[in-house]
Amino acid sequence: MPQGYELTSQPLLTTEHAVSDTWMRRIKIGLTYLLFLNIFGTLIKSPVTLYYLIYGGYPFLFLYLGFTFLYVVDKVLSKGSGFTPYEFIIFFILTYIMLQAGFVTNYYFGQPVMLGMSAEKSWLAILSGIFVFYLLKTRILDLTIIRDALIFTAWFNTPFYLLMILALNPNQFQGTLFVYCNQVKGGCQFEFDIFGLEFATIYYFIRFLRTTRWKYAVFFVFFFSYIFFINQKRGTSVALLGTMGLYFLIYTNIEKIIFYTVTFFLGIVGGVGLLELVRPDIVARIVQMYTDVLLVLEGKATGEASADARIRESNTVFKYFNLHPGSWFFGNGKINNNWQSGPHGEFGHFYASDIGMLGVVFQFGVLGLLVGLMQYWLVFRTHRKLSRFYRKDYFYQGVLFFIIFFIVRGIPSGGNFFDPGMAIASSFIAIHYFFYYMQLHPSRNYKYFNRQQQLLD
């Protein structure tokens, strides 16, 4: 019988006995799926954006904040116990960001401190990681449920995305958050959340290399093809290829490296050749997209609106670095929409997230960048201390390499510094840290044993 929602394969992390596919477990997977819809910001890029923000997005922020307040009170006042390094780092990052947002904009622009802090209210979503970690610690959820919910996210969302792409004209939704218009990419197109698909791509790639079962190759190619050919996010595609390439080089022997490299190269040549015969416009468009990236890096105009906008936004950054000495270190902060003429009145067309890490330094400074990256230092530190028993686990490797992918992707996008990145990073790092937490607390008897995987390895 299929276990969980991973088609016909056994659950990645199981108890010493088979996982029972009960209705309660299915309900938990469904609720965890809804939690990840919020963490990924999936419904922000959908036809129900406004309703989601009113009835889902903001209520979830208050849920995370209210839960964290009660959790801290219980830990400090009732139990008198301390926090884990993960929890401490998340609290420290949130506290720093809020104080920086308030005082920096007050110093440079005269904006009231509370308005500056309010402008960064989306950072409360970082507390979603505390929530996920608590659910795991208290056994409300286990790692098999988290894993199955993530895989379910990819398989459940993709058919809806494809159906909307085939049945609806994106031009009629121009100006909404789930439609993006770019002539280089062929005009207007739907822009759905693909974080679940990104995780599935990495996870199935790992399963394929570890088991050499070709069904996993089909799965990972399916999800990557959607990202590369339909979503057409250049930074995402390059980051995914780089992440999978890193795993490939680290965890495969020389025979596999040669075989799969030749197979991949021949597949790419064959696929491009077929596209050139059937739809040469797609090949030309993809070549143009990546050529524009090189031109932007050289500071040249491309004729593509989004690429040229990034050049102008970069110029704005250096303009304010000159106007505000020291802002490169402490940041310029974020102007609240409700203060004077708002950010557009001060900066014009400017979105810090458009220019990735340069935008992070503009808004938070080098100091803020280092503070925000502390959680990745924790990943590095705990990974080194983790036993091989955990480190060779499929799901653990999927989570670890998704975090690596998210770091690389953050170079052009800002990663964990902009919405919904702060929630995604903190939640996946919570899952990663829980593996180490299990190792630290063997007496709590968290179940993780996987007989089938040990036989395979």
Does residue 42 carry a pLDDT above 70? yes
Say which range, 9-18, 311-320, 401-410, has the weakest mean pLDDT.
9-18
148: in domain? yes
Confidence (pTM): 0.89
Report residue 311's pLDDT band, with 50, 70 and 90 as the boundaries.
confident
Q: End-to-end alpha-carbon separation of the chain, Å?
A: 23
Contact by Cβ (8 Å): 260, 252:
yes
Query: What is the per-residue pLDDT for 13?
Result: 44
Write the CA distances from 239 to 248, 290, 308, 381, 407, integer angstroms: 14, 13, 22, 23, 9
| pLDDT digits 0-9 by tens, 366-385 | 999 999 999 999 999 999 99
Report residue 309's pLDDT band, with 50, 70 and 90 as the boundaries.
confident
Indicate the residue type of 6.
E
Mean pLDDT of 209-230: 90
193: in domain? yes
117: in domain? yes
Mean pLDDT of 218-229: 90
278: in domain? yes
14: in domain? no
Report residue 185's pLDDT band, with 50, 70 and 90 as the boundaries.
low
User: Into how many domains does the chain fold?
Assistant: 1
- Structural domain span for residue 165: 23-456
15: in domain? no
| pLDDT digits 0-9 by tens, 51-70 | 888 888 889 999 999 999 99
Nearest Cα neighbor of 216 from 448, 398, 455, 389 is 398
183: in domain? yes
**Cα gap 372→206, rounded to integer Å:** 28
| pLDDT digits 0-9 by tens, 143-175 | 999 999 999 999 999 999 999 988 888 888 887
Report residue 448's pLDDT band, with 50, 70 and 90 as the boundaries.
low
Query: What is the per-residue pLDDT for 300?
Result: 54
Catalogue the E-assigned strands of 64-186. Answer: 179-182
Query: What is the per-residue pLDDT for 72?
Result: 93
Report residue 128's pLDDT band, with 50, 70 and 90 as the boundaries.
very high
433: in domain? yes
